[in-house]
Amino acid sequence: MSEQFDIKACVVEVLQARRFAVLATEREGQPHSSLVAITPLGCFRQLIFATYRNTRKYRNLASNSKVSVFIDGRAKDQSGSGSQDGFVLTALGHAQEIGSGDRDTVQSAHLERHPDLDTFLAAPDCALVLVKVEAYQVVGAIDDVKWWRVGAAVSG
């Protein structure tokens, strides 16, 4: 199996297993992190999340569309030894609000993965946001870091 396939397989595995991530935004030099419910789309080249428009997260995105999305795919060791197996991902990309023309399709996909968000998504102030992923950083251990640049070759 090629290294590129292994990295993509890690990304797919983690994104299928995990429903939540930490979104990092920035505005005027001030970083901000938020927990978001994510839905991967487009062969994992896009991530969807929802937010109210009156939040710091949304204001940050309106000012600077660059984001990172951290997804923890590690399984905690139940023995208490502190060891963990799996990978953590960081998706790097640009975010934009989904327009009304695509909203119904994307909202349906997001609701299928997160049915408990139906009231939240129906709110008039709720925006659906699409992150166009440019690259994934896949970390298996402190010295095991690989990159998948979406649409490009893999590098270490």
Bridge pairing between strands 30-37 and 66-72: unpaired
pLDDT digits (tens, 9 = 90+) for 102-120: 999 999 999 999 999 999 9
Instruction: Give the model's pLDDT for residue 77.
Output: 52
**What confidence tier does 4 reach under pLDDT thresholds 50, 70, 90?**
low
Higher pLDDT pick, 4 / 10:
10
Per DSSP, the three-state class of 5 is helix
26 strand-pairing partners: 31
> Whole-prediction pTM value?
0.86
Comparing CA positions, the residue from 8, 12, 22 lying closest to residue 149 is 8
Q: Name the strand (E) or helix (H) holding 52.
A: strand 46-52
pLDDT digits (tens, 9 = 90+) for 42-89: 888 999 999 999 999 999 999 999 999 999 988 765 445 454 577 899
Alpha-carbon distance values, 16 to 9, 20, 26, 118 (Å)? 10, 11, 27, 21
